[in-house]
Structure 1
Amino acid sequence: MTSSAPVIVPISNTQSTGAAQSQPPIATPAIRSFISNISETVRNGFAQRRPWSELIDRSAFSRPDSISEATQRIRKNYSYFRVNYSALIAVVLGISLLSNPFSLILLVALLAAWIFLYLFRPADQPVVFFGRTYSDKETLGILVITSIVVIFLTSVGSVLISALVVGLAIVCTHGAFRMPEDLFLDDQEVGSTGFLSFLSGPSANSVASVVAARV
């Protein structure tokens, strides 16, 4: 009696193959797209800035005769130099944060928490901390409370407010003492509103859409 070897039937793993084929291609991370939109928006905004030589032209400075004239000068100069003024305030804010490293670290940590825990976290990946799973609403509430504590109960709020006050004081002083008679404004530029209107773009829209979708 001859012994026959067992027949080996080839088994094709169709389930794993199908699962591998059904997986969508890896998409570009949202954070990378957000940074790209931010850099593009900032570049487009700075492309609208006025020459700095016009901003510091000493021959164009004179003392205003009244408060109403100073207010009118500020309004016209703001419409013309709004990108330059925004850059000046950003520089003052950056210097203030660099001179207060503790506030800078807290602000960066808060911004990172918003980005990685809420704004650009995949919806199918809940936040798990100490074995407890937090929903989107709970995560949003914790981040809001943390932001209030960091901004209003630490030195971060005072640093930001003082920097903004100093920046606005510089802008208002320059706008009040610079004569705007040599500035030529387009109707579209005069009608634009918002101190940071040049930064409104796809980056702001993407953040707003993410927040609206999660709330």
Structure 2
Amino acid sequence: MSTLISSLKETAQSLTAIRRPWRDFLDITAVDLPSSFSDATTRIAQNLTHFRLNYTIILLLIFFIALIYHPLSVLTFLVILLAWFFLYFARDREEPVVIFGFTIDDRLVIAALFVLTVAGLVLTGVWLNVLVAALIGVSFVVLHAALRSTDDLVMDDLESPYGHVLGDEELDSPRGDYSGI
């Protein structure tokens, strides 16, 4: 039980560390139209990386609002969310998943959780609510990410969606001694 609590604390601290301030996320002065399609896609990639936890919180809030009048569905998806959390997101990637003495591959865990999620949608009868909520949420996220300028964002090279292109001398790079421009 203490391992579970320490794991929850550790995960909460790591999530708190990557959440960006809401005043930066909702900064009206940073909103302007992208100059081109290329600029919009670059903004989307950078904003999705920089504000990933903020966008996740907004998507979860939209899903919760869509299911508010379906309490059984909310409970079902809370259980499924906990399953995703413990079996995929909060676990150490170096340690294999062991269920009932069987070691399970990551792809199998994802496939099983996906099937569990779809079964939860079908069995509770809220798949249409969730589909509409997902469309609304993704539309909001993409619109915000495209319209929010990235000029004021401070990102580490490794956090950037282009970090693999920029390079880092401390990482083993297949490019050898070449450095980013």
TM-score range, shorter chain: 0.5 to 0.7
Match of 1:165 among 135, 153, 178: 135
Q: CA deviation at 1:172?
A: 0.7
State the Cα deviation string for residues 8-45 of structure 1 (Å, max 9, x = none): xxxxxxxxxxxxxxxxxxxxx4xx64454234313321
Residue pair 1:70, 1:176 contacting (<8 A) in 2 also: yes
> What are the ranges of 5 or more consecutive residues in structure 2 without an aligned counterpart?
85-98, 102-112, 164-181
1:107 to 61, 77, 83: 77
Give the alignment partner of residue 74 of structure 1, picking from 40, 44, 56: 44
Pairing 1:1-215 to 2, within 5 Å after superposition: 29=1, 33-34=3-4, 36-108=6-78, 148-191=118-161
Counterpart of 2:128 in structure 1: which amino acid? S
Alignment RMSD: 3.5
TM-score with structure 1 setting the length: 0.51
- Output the CA distance in 2 between the equivalents of 1:189 and 1:113: 27
| Residue-by-residue CA offset, 1:80-125 (whole Å, 9 max, x unaligned) | 11121112112222222223324224435667999xxxxxxx959x
2:131 aligned partner, one-letter code: I
Deviation by residue 1:151-186 (Cα, 9 ceiling, x = unmatched): 235423333333232222111111111110111211
- Taking a change above 3 Å as real, the CA distance of residues 185 and 96 of structure 1, as seen in their structure-2 partners, is same
- Structure 2 counterpart SS, 1:181: coil
Partner of residue 5, structure 1: none
TM-score normalised per structure 2: 0.60
Residue identity (%): 33
Structure exhibiting the larger radius of gyration computed from Cα positions? 1
| Structure with more of its chain in helix, by fraction | 1
Deviation at 1:79, TM superposition (A): 1.8
Asked if the contact 1:151–1:157 (Cα under 8 Å) also holds between the matched residues in 2, the reply is yes
Does the 8 Å contact 2:72/2:124 carry over to 1? Answer: no
Mapped contact 1:73–1:179 kept (Cα < 8 A): yes
Q: Unaligned regions of 5+ residues in structure 1, if any?
A: 1-28, 115-121, 125-142, 194-215
CA change 1:43–1:156 in 2 (3 A) is: farther
For 1:145 and 1:190, locate their aligned partners in 2 and report how far apart those are by CA, in whole Å: 32
